[in-house]
Amino acid sequence: MELWVILAIAAAAFQTLRFMLQKKLSMGTLSAGGATLARFWYSVPFVTALLAAYLLARDLPVPQVAPHFWPYALAGGASQILATWCVVALFAQRNFAVGITFKKTEVMQTALAGFVVLGDRVSAIGMGAILMGLIGVLALSETATLGGRLRDGLRSRATILGLCSGAFFAISAVGYRGATLAVESPDPLLRAGLSLAIITVLQTLSLSAWLAFREKGQVARVAAAWRGAVWIGLSGMAGSLCWFTAFTLQNAAMVFAVGQVEVIFSIFAATLVFGERITRREAVGMTLITLSVLVVVAVR
């Protein structure tokens, strides 16, 4: 099995764990913005320490970054903040597994973003798989039943949040791939680590400033929730490092395609941790999305 595939599966597992923890925090004292900040705030110490340890252990200098690193990094970082915020807000609308499945429309939207920004193309079979995934998303829509109206389903808050989170994650993936490739080093782990450290610090500073202005007291609540939030930071750091390293080895659409196994992980989390039930219609939707991913990976 190729390294980028292993990294994508590991990233999906860590990300599922992080969203589980964020859902629990957002159900308590933290808002969606506060739970989003916790993911970045508590990742910073681990990311920077890991990068420093790696540089010291291998006696390496900090690599230079090309000028185009910054627009990619800023676009990716801002998009990830918005995507994470959408996912946390989505948990209040639908159950955990369905929320994650809506988010996984990112694989379809990443293929489009990759074509527009990087010139990546999708084969006819791959496009068919993408359409299959879209049908799965529509099956998950609240009112997209045989007796419901498709238009109303597409207008539901859950559908909008899910599709927006997928779009923002797609933009962040393409941005992060561009950023990691702009780091002047042949070492994929070092490119990923430096990019992750810089972007996470910028995300923490910007989101902290925003919440201090818009949601008074929320930053203090994030600090007070450290006992639970520190695990969000650890799992977020581990997942991001896997994603970033995979992006240095393979295009973002393919990485996210393999990462769709997160849907399966989320089903286990929803049933075993949150005690949620999956309806037959929701199971059909998630199955179609999973099948679309398998086809995408097969025809890559």
**Alpha carbon separation from 49 to 198, 227, 237 (Å, rounded):** 12, 19, 11
pLDDT at 233: 85
pLDDT at 99: 64
- DSSP conformation letters of 49-112: HHHHHHHHHTT-PPPPB-TTHHHHHHHHHHHHHHHHHHHHHHTTTS-HHHHHHHHTTHHHHHHH
Among all chains, which residue has been given the structure tokens 């779009």? Answer: 167
> Closest by alpha carbon to 269, among 35, 41, 12?
12
pLDDT at 52: 95
Tokens matching residue 86:
């959408």
pLDDT at 130: 65
Residue type, 198: I
pLDDT at 72: 94
Local structure of 252: helix, strand or coil: helix
pTM of the model: 0.78
Spatial distance between the Cα atoms of 295 and 257, rounded to a whole number of angstroms: 9
Q: H or E element: which one contains 132?
A: helix 124-140
pLDDT at 274: 63
What ranges do the domains of the chain cover? 3-298
Spatial distance between the Cα atoms of 7 and 245, rounded to a whole number of angstroms: 8
- Run means of pLDDT, 10 residues per run, the chain, 300 residues: 84 84 70 82 91 93 94 93 82 62 71 69 67 65 47 61 84 90 91 94 93 87 84 87 87 77 74 70 72 67
> Closest by alpha carbon to 207, among 71, 37, 80?
37
Spatial distance between the Cα atoms of 108 and 155, rounded to a whole number of angstroms: 19
Alpha helices in 182-272 (DSSP H): 188-214, 218-224, 226-249, 252-258, 262-272
Quote the DSSP letter at residue 209: H
Tokens matching residue 264:
């399966």
Quote the DSSP letter at residue 260: G
State the CB neighbour count (10 A cutoff) for residue 53: 11
Burial of 202 (0-12, 13-18, 19+ CB in 10 A): middle
